[in-house]
Structure 1
Amino acid sequence: MIFSLFGLFSCAEEKKKLPAGLLPPAKLTSILADIHIAEAQVENMRLSPDTAKVVFNRLQAEVLKKYGVPEKQFDKTYTYYLNNLNDLDKIYESLIDTLTMREVQFTSKGGNTGMKPDSAKPDSANAKKMPDTIKNKLLEKVKARRERLKSIDTIK
């Protein structure tokens, strides 16, 4: 009886099998991290919407090339996750952690985020606040995407 309970729990905890041809979650997370960074760079350029779209599309193509991922495969993977919001939430939880770690590493290496003008060391108060900023921006984007998806589902 004990063995059957272990078997039951192990089956319940099995990872969900992804459809063939999709990117693994870890790789998708890395790609999305780079894409979100590119998006932030474009937003900071304060370009006209048309120009910003062209620049962003070019940067996204460079990210996909860096990872050796065809655009169709990325689109197929992202579409799968848009239709499986619980799985997308897990991806974005991982994405928030990834971006937070990247920012902490950047700040600790002397990047200008959270830097005092005359110091080579990060301002610890600002460095601690920055990950929350990233999290809040990403969470806002995720919430907006969810709302759009809910409205699309309602229309269907």
Structure 2
Amino acid sequence: MKNFFCILFCLSLLGCKSHNEQRPDNLIPEEQMVRILADIHTTEALIESNVIYPDTALMVFNKKQGEILERHGVSQEAFKTTYDYYLEHLDEMNQLYETVVDTLSMRETKVQLKEGKAPDVPEPTEPQLQ
């Protein structure tokens, strides 16, 4: 019986965690967060393709991420707070990353056009007749 009350107490503590449904005022605006994440993922891909050693890659990435945040006028703390908010609100995170992926695709298309290459466009699929 004592174990039952112990388990019940632990479960009640887990249920007490509150999720603040309101967006905090100090979040980085969505458009700016998209640009920051797109820059971070672009930098990450460049580092991953050019740096052989994982430890070196991590050090370079951390330095570059700090430079990206500085360029956008955002502190590391504000970025972490905003990212943590999105981790707790996965629907909003999905929407945010849909925009990030679109942004990265647009950047890739611009680079391809600059290089004189035809952009990679998926072929339209015909509807299946039943």
TM-score by length of 2: 0.74
- Residue 18 of structure 1, aligned match among 23, 37, 54: 23
CA RMSD between the two structures: 1.6
Alignment of 1:1-156 (within 5 A): 18-110=23-115, 121-122=116-117, 124=118, 127-128=119-120
2:126 corresponds to which residue?
Answer: none
Inter-partner Cα distance in structure 2 for 1:52 and 1:96: 23
Query: Residue type of the partner of 2:120?
Result: K
Query: Residue type of the partner of 1:53?
Result: L
Shift of 1:17: 5.3
Q: What is the number of equivalent residue pairs in this alignment?
A: 102
Inter-partner Cα distance in structure 2 for 1:32 and 1:99: 10
Of structures 1 and 2, the one scoring higher in RCO (CA 8 A, sep 6+) is 2
In structure 2, list runs of 5 or more residues that go unmatched.
Answer: 1-20, 123-130
Inter-partner Cα distance in structure 2 for 1:53 and 1:128: 31
Question: Considering only CA atoms, is the larger Rg found in Structure 1 or Structure 2?
Answer: 2
Runs of 4+ in 1 over 6 A off after TM superposition: none
Identity of aligned residues (%): 40
